[in-house]
Structure 1
Amino acid sequence: MVAPARTATRDAHDTAVAELRRARAGAARVQLGKPSSNLFRFGDRDTGRGAHRLDTSALNGVLAVDPEARTAEVQGMATYETIVDATLVHGLMPLVVPQLKTITLGGAVTGLGVESTSFRNGLPHESVLEMDVLTPGGELLRATPDGEHADLFAAFPNSYGTLGYALRLVVELAPVRPFVKLTHHRYPSAAATAAGITELAGAGGADFLDGVVFDSSEQYLTTGEFVDAPMPGARISDYTGQEVFYRSLQRRPVDHLTVHDYIWRWDPDWFWCSRAFGVQNPLVRRFWPRRHRRSDVYRRLVALDQRYGASNRVREALGGTAEEMVVQDVEIPAERLADFLDFFDREIPIAPVWLCPLKLRGQRSWPLYPMEPGRLYVNVGFWSSVPEKPGDRWAHNRLIEQAVADLGGHKSLYSTVHYGEDEFWAHYNGDAYRAVKQRYDPDGRAPDLYRKVTGR
């Protein structure tokens, strides 16, 4: 069932923007006052001590949906949960819906996002038609692909708020059908999975494509297609209750979900990360309130643990070893995916991992996350912890960063970053960034991208 959408009026939006501009102009250092976060940079990096928190509570709705033009006008702090609720009633959805409900549209555009439509629709920022950006100096600028501020429009993806905040965006939408039929294809090796991704992504018959690696010999790719009704006699699955979605890949070769439940299939268990809290234990699950089976609830629990180091203290008190958090999403060229998965299986004791093929939607490139147009990549997501190496707290993360670089890939910056400054700017186009930064933040009122994501 789709909930009523959170809407916003034009007058209320204009008033909220004016208030935000005043607050921005009056404070040297600011941080968005969002009720939730999907970043994994904890401690001082995450809390923004000393920064003035901008109240964005009036900028989290949908201004309009145009079913004929297939567009939505959305406030920058609106979550994808709110946007999907507003668009599904018109038989539409954003071209790419990142997998967690509390990711905001502005966050997905400035920080990137990916999902199972990305092999054909690219990344969320590629479906943005225009956006209003509040610069670090307090200017409100309308950025479009070919207007006066086209350089800001192009550099905004992967800038993580260091060039400004998107307060209003117009995005394209795509039509949906009521149900999604899923087919889970099993593969025996990384090489076979990589070949399967290339084949399925190029075949043109699927609306959705992603996958899960359980171990080196049990790997699945899932194709999804829109249907008007399930096959005769087929059940419609519900993974918001006792069942867990990722386990269904191993048990049901074919499955059906409503389009709403498909979009949010990963959120009730935060992919598989809910197991850390015992939520996949049938007894615990029965008593864990359904309304709290959400990614934002689990993420808040992890944030508390990281802030106070509780789990590591318990491990060490019991004679165990502290653990290094390894939470990353990386983009690997499809032809090098098998090499990366083999490396990961040898060196990083984490499973499962998520696979999500992606290709830029158009022929333009985006300077701060330089992927090649027309080239197929695979997002590999892994979110867990491993025993620390003595005397080297971040050894596994640095090893992954080096492997990604060696294979011609990129890593998302929502989590810990360990590159040195010169290497960082070599990966993320420092020359292009500095030119745009100088134009839109000449006084350095916001930190630059390297300092923002490393805390250095």
Structure 2
Amino acid sequence: MDLSWIDVTDMRVVGGILAVLAAVYLILDAYVSRTRDGWIGFWLEFRWILIVFIVLPLSRGLSAYWRLRDFVYDTFLAKPHLHSSRVAEIQRRVKAFRAAGGPKAAGGRLLCTSRPQWLRTTLRQMDYQTSKNAIPIPLFDILELDTEALTVRVEPSVTMGRLSRFLIARGYCLQVVPELDELTVGGLINGYGVETSSHKYGLVADTATAYEVVLSSGEVVTATPDNEYADLFHAVPWSYGALGFLVCATLRVRKAEKYVKLSYYPTRTTEETTTLFDGLTVSDSPPNFVEGLMYNKNEGVVMSGDFAPESEALAHPDQINDITIWHKTYFGEHVQNILNDFKKAGSLTAASSFAVGVTKPAVVEYIPTVAYFHRHVKGIFWEMKLILPFGHHAWFRYLFGWSLPASIPLIKATQPPSLTKFYQDRHIAQDGLVPLEKLPQGIEFFHKNFECYPLWLCPHKLCFTSPQGMLRPSKEAVARGLVKPGKWEQYVDIGCYYSPGPILRGEEYDCVQARKNYEQFLIENSGYQALYAITEMTRDQWATMFDTELYDKCRTKYDAVGWFMDAYDKVCRPKGEAAKKRS
């Protein structure tokens, strides 16, 4: 039964809905911008009407559509042998691009995917896609789960929501499961993917065992850590498609139980937070999951979790918390309520006695595994408090909670250019990776530079590889003998997603300069910036922050130069001389 038309039709249906919405908003944008307060004042005051009555109902419809599509796809199209024919079509298009004259015939444009802006997580606006240089990559399939090798082979457009549901239903999960449902395997490998198990397994790309890549010649190669393409294997992560089209990845999986037993530890100083993080992540037997939320410069909650069998959870029914139930509040709000209750009871621990194995958790809960993996989806971490200010209130949750979560693509589709610029100027969405020992300095800097809360803290391994990719353990740790070749260093992701304090108070604030300050702080402290976000670095700063030696060699060796866009040109917003593109 030939249902291959679904690959194209699903994009046309969803794209058509979004095109109509975009047209309406562009008309409104042009009209309201002429009013006294302009579109921004109108949008900020009345956006909730559009979210409640348009975005949320459409989100439910879109969710149902994708689930139906996945059912049809898995039932009729999820055949591994079809993968080869899909990849062959991509190869044909790449070769046709070359035969037609390449970038010269495409107005100087280099090869890229045709994935539309509204489906991407990035906050940047892209202007490099045209019908002449953008190649469709309709690869949505879960190809094979190997329960003996403990790996899953997937195509790059498979989303985290779909993949986690598929695996957990069979008793497995990825070693690292990033939060948001719409994140794709390809984006998490070519870009950046971290989660609360990263202190054990590293980033998403660190859990890969093989990549299939279509090169600029149209040839498809399989890269593994120990074959002739080992250099390509280690260069693909963080390359943002600058080496070729990723068409398949093999990722490690592990056994999963139906519940996660989660312990909450309120803290009152950054020293307590760092002590607990250090004790949890570098122990001989670390927990499966570690996460922290800071609600101001000093106070926060550190969480540690492990898988728990269903029998154990059912033996503690009063501690089971399915946070995805429609009337439950956002997870970030739930954690803050635990902190506030603990403070009211006067139970915050003293720093002198704070240590792993000594301090008892304030609360212990059993959360269904799928719900835990996607616990921040409903609130989009805490961004929904800006988008829908009363969305976490009890009356809204009980009346309209069934309509959540809102679709991120639909939110982006209903955001006109003027509001996009507003968010770039008055909003921060950044993830900074710093060595764990520098977490106190990182929190202090984020407070002074952004004053943006909550902060998300997620520890992760940063490993030596051979050859070394874009990220490497800090030179200071290596020089002091703390990290040796073949080993790893514990880093922590500090995530900041909200409007800065000065803006919320109506004060003057320069977001562009704040981002530049933050990037310089990362460079000076052996840190790294997650490049899905708005990036202000110059090319020299980018080359200083990241280890580009292997990346540059592979760009030349695999003939990517002049055919695929350089990663810097895709992710950064350089000015002046730095804006000259490196082909």
TM-score greater than 0.5 by the shorter chain: yes
Q: Distance between the aligned counterparts of 1:379 and 1:365, measured in 2? A: 24
Aligned to 1:136: 216
Identify which of 541, 544, 549 aligns with 1:423.
Answer: 541
Query: After superposition, where does 1:44-443 map in structure 2 within 5 Å?
Result: 44-45=126-127, 48-49=129-130, 52-57=133-138, 59-203=139-283, 204-228=285-309, 229-230=312-313, 231-240=315-324, 241-243=326-328, 244-252=330-338, 253-278=363-388, 279-286=391-398, 288=400, 290=402, 292-294=404-406, 297-298=407-408, 300-302=410-412, 304-305=414-415, 307-310=416-419, 323-360=425-462, 366-371=468-473, 373-386=487-500, 387=503, 394-443=512-561
CA deviations on 1:349-404 (whole Å, 9 max, x unpaired) are 21001000011467657421223542111001111234499795511111111111
Structure 2 contact 290–305 (Cα < 8 Å) conserved: yes
- For structure 1, list consecutive stretches of 5 or more residues without a partner in the other structure: 316-321
Aligned with 1:215: secondary structure? coil
How far residue 97 of structure 1 moved from its aligned partner, in angstroms, is 0.8
Q: Distance between the aligned counterparts of 1:23 and 1:53, measured in 2? A: 10
Q: Distance between the aligned counterparts of 1:209 and 1:165, measured in 2? A: 33
Structure 2 contact 322–371 (Cα < 8 Å) conserved: yes
Aligned with 1:350: secondary structure? coil
CA pair 213-76 structure 1, distance change in 2 beyond 3 A: same
- For structure 2, list consecutive stretches of 5 or more residues without a partner in the other structure: 1-66, 103-109, 339-362, 475-486, 574-578
Aligned to 1:318: none
CA pair 301-232 structure 1, distance change in 2 beyond 3 A: closer
How far residue 286 of structure 1 moved from its aligned partner, in angstroms, is 4.4
Structure 1 contact 121–360 (Cα < 8 Å) conserved: no
CA deviations on 1:16-56 (whole Å, 9 max, x unpaired) are 111111222333434323365443343335x7356644333
Aligned with 1:77: secondary structure? coil
CA deviations on 1:193-229 (whole Å, 9 max, x unpaired) are 1121001112324110011011123211100111113
Q: Does 1:40 align with 2:122?
A: yes
Structure 1 contact 182–255 (Cα < 8 Å) conserved: yes
How far residue 438 of structure 1 moved from its aligned partner, in angstroms, is 0.6
Name the amino acid aligned to 2:260.
V
Aligned with 1:73: secondary structure? strand
CA pair 430-389 structure 1, distance change in 2 beyond 3 A: farther
CA pair 412-371 structure 1, distance change in 2 beyond 3 A: farther
Structure 2 contact 320–366 (Cα < 8 Å) conserved: yes
Q: Distance between the aligned counterparts of 2:281 and 2:132, measured in 1? A: 44
Structure 2 contact 242–560 (Cα < 8 Å) conserved: no
Aligned with 1:309: secondary structure? helix
Aligned to 1:14: 84
Q: Distance between the aligned counterparts of 1:101 and 1:361, measured in 2? A: 27
CA pair 417-50 structure 1, distance change in 2 beyond 3 A: farther
Q: Distance between the aligned counterparts of 2:569 and 2:272, measured in 1? A: 40
Aligned to 1:446: 564
Name the amino acid aligned to 1:245.
F
How far residue 289 of structure 1 moved from its aligned partner, in angstroms, is 6.4
CA pair 304-42 structure 1, distance change in 2 beyond 3 A: farther
Name the amino acid aligned to 1:247.
E
After TM superposition, the score normalised by the length of structure 2 is: 0.71
How far residue 311 of structure 1 moved from its aligned partner, in angstroms, is 7.4
Structure 1 contact 137–445 (Cα < 8 Å) conserved: no
Name the amino acid aligned to 1:293.
P
Structure 1 contact 95–121 (Cα < 8 Å) conserved: yes
Name the amino acid aligned to 1:210.
E
Q: Does 1:24 align with 2:24?
A: no
Q: Distance between the aligned counterparts of 2:246 and 2:150, measured in 1? A: 21
Aligned with 1:137: secondary structure? coil
Q: Distance between the aligned counterparts of 1:24 and 1:303, measured in 2? A: 30
Structure 1 contact 106–165 (Cα < 8 Å) conserved: no
CA pair 84-392 structure 1, distance change in 2 beyond 3 A: closer
Aligned with 2:302: secondary structure? strand
Aligned with 1:414: secondary structure? coil
Bigger drift between 48-57 and 108-117 goes to: 48-57
Q: Distance between the aligned counterparts of 1:303 and 1:408, measured in 2? A: 36
CA RMSD, Structure 1 to Structure 2 (Å): 2.6
CA pair 134-442 structure 1, distance change in 2 beyond 3 A: closer
Name the amino acid aligned to 2:447.
D
Aligned to 1:319: none
Q: Which has the larger radius of gyration?
A: 2
CA pair 288-17 structure 1, distance change in 2 beyond 3 A: farther
How far residue 292 of structure 1 moved from its aligned partner, in angstroms, is 4.5
CA pair 442-212 structure 1, distance change in 2 beyond 3 A: closer
Q: Distance between the aligned counterparts of 2:224 and 2:432, measured in 1? A: 28
Bigger drift between 411-420 and 434-443 goes to: 434-443
Q: Distance between the aligned counterparts of 2:449 and 2:510, measured in 1? A: 15
Structure 2 contact 215–243 (Cα < 8 Å) conserved: yes
Name the amino acid aligned to 1:212.
L
Higher helix share: 2
Q: Distance between the aligned counterparts of 2:227 and 2:367, measured in 1? A: 41
How far residue 277 of structure 1 moved from its aligned partner, in angstroms, is 1.9
CA pair 418-14 structure 1, distance change in 2 beyond 3 A: same
How far residue 412 of structure 1 moved from its aligned partner, in angstroms, is 1.2
Q: Distance between the aligned counterparts of 1:30 and 1:214, measured in 2? A: 43
Aligned with 1:450: secondary structure? helix
Q: Distance between the aligned counterparts of 2:185 and 2:456, measured in 1? A: 22
Structure 1 contact 155–368 (Cα < 8 Å) conserved: yes
Structure 2 contact 243–560 (Cα < 8 Å) conserved: no
The ranges of structure 1 where at least 4 consecutive aligned residues each deviate by more than 6 angstroms after the TM superposition are 388-391
CA pair 379-442 structure 1, distance change in 2 beyond 3 A: closer
Higher strand share: 1
